[in-house]
Each structure stands twice: as C-alpha cells, then as structure tokens.
Amino acid sequence: LDLSIKATREFGWYNRNTAFNPYMVEGKKTVALEIIEQMDFEVPDYLFIPVGDGCIISGAAKAYKDMFFLGFIDHLPKLVAVQAEGCKPIVEAVNGDGEVKFVVPNTIADSIAVGIPRNRLMAVRDVKESGGFGIAVSDEEILKAIKYLG
C-alpha cells in the first residue's frame, strides 16, 4: 500500500486506496441507502457489516446519519463490526479500549483480512457511537455460512 501511495504522488495518478480517498466512504453509503429503500425506510435494530479496512461500515453509518438528519428515518441502527477470528483488529478495538492494534492476518476470508485497517479510527468511532459492538467468526463458521447460503 505504501508503494502505491508513493507512486500516486510521484506520477500524479488518482489515489483510490481505501481510507486515503474521502470518496471511498461516500461511495460505500450506497450499501445502506439500498437497505433503507428495500426495508421501506424501516430501520433495523442492528446492522451487521463485514469489516476489513472499515470503509463500508463508516459509509453505512454516514448514510444512516444523513437519512436521520434529513428526517427520512426516525432512529439509527446499532452497528456490528464482523471480522474473521484470524484478523480482528477493529473488533478488538470496538470491544476494548478503542485502540486498533495491527495484526498479521490468518484467515480464509481474504477480502476482509486487513491487518492494518486504513479507516480504523472512523470505523471504531462509528460503531462505538452507534452503541454497537464487534463479533469475530471462525473460518469454520465462514465455510458453513458459504455452504448454507449457496
């Protein structure tokens, strides 16, 4: 990641790295906006979101806050950060002292296996402010869910 950041600066390329680009969180709001629309503006008590860098959960939080302040919904959901047992730095921070400790990922869930989450501060803040929490699931549970969901 650091090499790609250096290259974007050196060559003037567009930097779309997660959490270094403010448009990433804005773009991820669409996840929650679709949920809001499909639920006919009814807000779930809890919103479970897989977390890697933390942009999706922060985008969802922002979308719900926007819709609340605009008067389209009457309350906010509690956010639940879901990570693999073998890579859970945000879950541990949310359930602990708020400090994200970097880890070496060890999980089959490669798309959320982020040992140094780039949007960690915003993600932890958003989950804590919502009154939510974090949960970690084992690789075995992930495999069972994949089989169950088809």
Closest CA to 111 of 8, 27, 18, 7: 18
Q: How far apart are CA 51 and CA 4, in angstroms?
A: 22
CATH code for the domain in which residue 41 is found: 3.40.50.1100
- pTM greater than 0.85: yes
Cα–Cα distance between 123 and 117 in angstroms, integer? 9
In a domain, 14, yes or no: no
Q: Note whether residue 3 is domain-resident.
A: no
Q: Give the domain range for residue 38.
A: 26-149
List, for residues 89-144, the tens digit of each pLDDT value. Answer: 999 999 999 999 999 999 999 999 999 999 999 999 999 999 999 999 999 999 99
Asked if residue 17 belongs to a domain, the reply is no
Helix, strand, coil share of the chain (percent; to 5): 50, 10, 40
Q: What's the CA gap between 149 and 146, in Å, rounded?
A: 5
Q: How many domains does the chain have?
A: 1
> pLDDT grade, residue 1 (50/70/90)?
low
